[in-house]
Amino acid sequence: MSTSARTSALRAVPASPLAGTQHRPLPIPAVRLVGGPLTAWQQRNDAADGLYGPDTATELGDERTVTAIPLSTWGNRAPGPMRVWPPRAPRWGLQ
């Protein structure tokens, strides 16, 4: 399975703790990422392709680690997918 996931298919886990604070340089001069990975789950269906449609996923897929990039530094080298507010993962399956 690919290690990357469509940003539209990710669901953030509410109140998931950061896995550890990291100071990691980005491939952009003078920009450093402060923070850590956030746990997210990838949907197994294609229902998340719409921007504002209902979430019709019937189950959670694989756990993924998402690295947050500041909005001000995203996409200044090349276009790429971005999600400003990741939707929450459904409560079921996260107990």
Q: What is the pLDDT of residues 34-69, one digit of tens each?
A: 555 555 665 555 544 455 555 555 555 666 666 666
87 within domain boundaries: no
Residue 46: left if φ>0, alpha if ψ -120 to 50, beta else—which one?
alpha
11 within domain boundaries: yes
33 within domain boundaries: yes
What is the span of the domain harbouring residue 24?
A: 7-73
In this predicted model, what pLDDT tens digit does every residue of 5-39 receive, in sequence order?
555 556 665 555 555 555 555 555 555 555 555 55
Label residue 94 by pLDDT band (50, 70, 90). very low
66 within domain boundaries: yes
89 within domain boundaries: no
Q: How far from 24 is each of 5, 27, 48, 68, CA to CA, in Å?
A: 22, 10, 30, 12
| Count of domains forming the chain | 1
67 within domain boundaries: yes
DSSP structure class, residue 28 = S
Q: Note the pTM of the prediction, 2 decimals.
A: 0.36
